[in-house]
Amino acid sequence: MSPAGNRPGNDGVNADVAVVGAGPAGLAAAVAAAEAGAAVAVVDAGSQPGGQFWRHRPETIVPEPDGRGHHGWRTYVDLRSRFDAARAAGRITYLPGLQVWMAQNYDGGFTLRTTPTVAGVPPRDNGSSVARTVVAPRLVLCPGGYDRQLPVPGWELPGAMAAGGIQAFIKGNAALPGKRFVIAGTGPFLLPVAAGVAEAGGQVLAVLESSSGSAWLPHLRAAAGVPGKALEGAEYASIFARHRIPYRQRSIVTEVLGTNHVTGVRTAKVDSVGRVRPGTERIYQGVDVVGFGWGFTPQMELPLSLGAETRLDADGSLVGVVDEHQQSSVRGLYLAGEVTGVGGASLAVLEGLAAGTAAARGRALSSSKTMWRHRKFAQAMHKAHPIPPSWQEWLTPDTAVCRCEEVTAGQIADARDLLDARDARSLKSFTRAGMGWCQGRVCGFATACLGEGTGNQGAAPSVGSLAGSAKRPLAAPVAIGELTALAEPAETNLQTKKN
C-alpha cells in the first residue's frame, strides 16, 4: 500500500506496472506486462503510440497508416494490435498527451506526477487533458532520447534544425520545413533524414558525414551480425542515387550563413580527428534548412531523479545501468530503449519486452542472442561515428553555445579558465548556459565538453558533468497551479520519510 501522500486522487490511476513512453520500448513493455497478467498504466507525452521511430500522421486524419517510409512497420502493427486488445480488455490504461514531470519512489513503489503536454489542448485519443497521478509498485521508464547537437558558428539562425526535427516534421505533418536542405553530422541516422526529405519532394544539396566508411572496417563482424541494417543501407543508397544526393565523407559544416534566416553553409573537409583541412572550403548557396545530427542524447531526467546508477556509453552518452532483466540499480525500476544506450528501435523493442515481462513478474525472458548482436552493432556504430575529438576547434569565441540564453563559447572558456568552472553545473551558475527554456537539453553535452576541454581533445565529458547537466528537478515544464496543488501530499511525503 502506498503512503497517503502517494495515493492517487480522484483523477489518479493505480496499476501493477507503470510505463513511461509509448515508443518502441514502451509499447513492447506495456504489451509484455499486460500479457503477463499485470494491470498496466502507460503515460506518453505523444498523442498516439509510436514514439520517435514510428511517428506517423494523426490517426484522426489518417486512421489506417500504411507505414510507407517506415522500417519495422510490421512489428509496430503487431505491437499496436496487442496494445489495443489489452486496452479493450481493461488491462492497459493508456494516458496519451501527458508528460511525467516528476517521479518519486517510496518503499512500496513509485508515483508519477503528470501534466498535459500541450496545455489546454485535449489529446485526440481518450486520454486526459488534465494532470493525472499514477501510482504503481513497479515502473518501466522508456522515455527515449533526442538529437545531440554541437554548436557551430551561425547555428542560431532560423532554418538551422536538428536532423530529427526535420524528420519528425515530415513524419508528423507529411510536409517539409523548407525546400533546399543540407544535412550534416555523423551516423547512419543522416541517411533516413535525407532520404525522407528527398522522397517528400525536397532537394538535398549534400549530406556531410564527418566520419568515413573505412571507420567500419574494424567492426565488420558486428555489422554482419545485424544483416537487416545492410539492407536498410542499400535502400538508402538507391534513394540517394535516384535523387542524386551527394554523400560527402570527412566533411563538416564550418559555418551557417545568413542574416535573418539560413541562406547557405560553408563546409570543409576534415582529417580523422576532425581538424579542418586548409584549402578544402566550399560554400553552398540557396540553402533554407540545414539539419544537424550528432547521435542522440538519452532522456535521463527520470532515471536520475529516482537515483538509478549510470555509466558512460561508447558514444559518450550518460545511460542507465541495468541487469539482464533490464532492472536498474533501484529495486522495481526497469529501464528500456535509448536510456540504456542508444541502439535503435529493434533493440528498444527487445529490451521493452524483457523489462515489461520482468516488471509484471512474468516468466523472465533470457537475454537473447539477437539482443546481444544488436548491442554489438550499436557499439560498433558509435565507434565508427564518433564525435570528432577536435570539434571544439570549429568554434569562434562568439559562437553561441547556449542558444536560449545566448551564451558564447568565449564566455564559457573564460568561466572555465578564469573562474575554474569546469563542470556543467558550475558553468550554468557562472554563465547561464543551460538555464533557459530547454534547460540545457540542447547545449548540455557541448557545455560539459567545453568545461572539461583540455586542449581540444576532450570529446566525451565525465559521468559527473553529464549527470549534472541532465539532472533537473522537473522533467517537464509544469504550471504553478500543479506545483501548489502538491503542497499537501508533499508534507505528507516528508513525514513519511522522517518516520
Ligand X SMILES: Cc1cc2nc3c(=O)[nH]c(=O)nc-3n(C[C@H](O)[C@H](O)[C@H](O)COP(=O)(O)OP(=O)(O)OC[C@H]3O[C@@H](n4cnc5c(N)ncnc54)[C@H](O)[C@@H]3O)c2cc1C
Q: Which stretch binds ligand X (CB under 6 A): 32-40, 145-153, 263-271, 444-452?
A: 145-153
Print the binding letters for residues 325-354 with ligand X: x by CB under 6 A, - otherwise: ------------xx-----xx--x------
CB of 443 to ligand X, least distance (A): 17
Closest CB to ligand X among residues 20, 34: 20
Taking the least distance from each CB to ligand X, the nearer of 339 and 415 is 339
In the bound state with ligand X, the residue whose beta carbon lies nearer, of 43 and 360, is 43
DSSP string, 358-424: HHTT-SPPPPPHHHHHHHHHHHHHHHHSPPPTTGGGG--TT-EEETTTTEEHHHHHHHHHHH---SH
Q: Residue 145 interacts with ligand X (CB under 6 A)?
A: yes
What distances in angstroms separate CA 229 from CA 189, 217, 223, one per listed residue?
12, 15, 8
Give ∠ CA 310-311-313 in degrees, rounded to 5.
135
How many residues contact ligand X, by CB under 6 A?
A: 36
Amino acid at 163: A
DSSP-assigned letter for residue 210 = S
Residue whose C-alpha cell is 568554434: 395
Position among 3, 51, 187, 451 found at the interface with ligand X (CB under 6 A):
51
Query: Of the two residues 21 and 109, which places its CB atom closer to ligand X in the complex?
Result: 21
Q: Closer to ligand X at the Cβ: 36 or 350?
A: 350
Question: Strands 145-147 and 296-298, how do they pair?
Answer: antiparallel
DSSP state of 23: S
Which of 94-116 are b and which e, b meaning 16 or more Cβ less than 10 Å from the residue's Cβ?
Answer: bbbbbbbbbbbbbeebbbbbbbb
Among 123, 137, 144, 468, binds ligand X (CB under 6 A): 144
Inter-residue contact 82 to 31 (CB < 8 Å): yes
Cα–Cα dist 205/289, whole Å: 10
For the segment 291-330, give every residue that binds ligand X (CB under 6 A).
296, 299
Select the span of 3-11, 46-54, 177-185, 386-394 touching ligand X (CB under 6 A): 46-54
192 near ligand X, rule: CB under 6 A: yes
Report, in Å, the least distance between residue 430 CB and ligand X.
Answer: 29
Residue 49 vs 453, nearer CB to ligand X: 49
DSSP state at residue 327: B
List strands edge to edge, sheet with 282-285: 251-258, 262-269, 282-285
Among 79, 142, 306, 381, binds ligand X (CB under 6 A): 142
Our CB check for ligand X shows the closer of 232 and 414 to be: 232
User: Which positions from 16 to 45 touch ligand X by CB under 6 A, shown as an x/- string?
Assistant: ----xxxxxxx----------------xxx
**Applying CB under 6 A, does 254 fall inside the site for ligand X?**
no
Position among 52, 211, 317, 327 found at the interface with ligand X (CB under 6 A): 52
Q: Min. distance of Cβ 20 from ligand X in angstroms?
A: 5
Q: Which is nearer to ligand X, 131 or 476 (CB)?
A: 476
DSSP string, 271-296: -TTS-B-TT--EEEES--EEEEE--E
Of positions 152, 168, 184, 448, contacts ligand X by CB under 6 A: 168
Q: Smallest gap, in angstroms, from Cβ of residue 249 to ligand X?
A: 20
Sequential DSSP letters for 213-276: GGGGGGGHHHHHT-HHHHHHHHHHHHHHHHHT--EEESEEEEEEEESSSEEEEEEEEB-TTS-B
Neighbouring-strand partners of residue 105? 110
Minimal distance, residue 396 CB to ligand X, in Å: 29
CA distance 77 to 483: 38
Site for ligand X contains 53 (CB under 6 A) = yes
Per CB under 6 A, residues contacting ligand X are 20-26, 43-46, 51-53, 99-100, 142-147, 164, 167-168, 189, 192, 296, 299, 337-338, 344-345, 348, 475-476
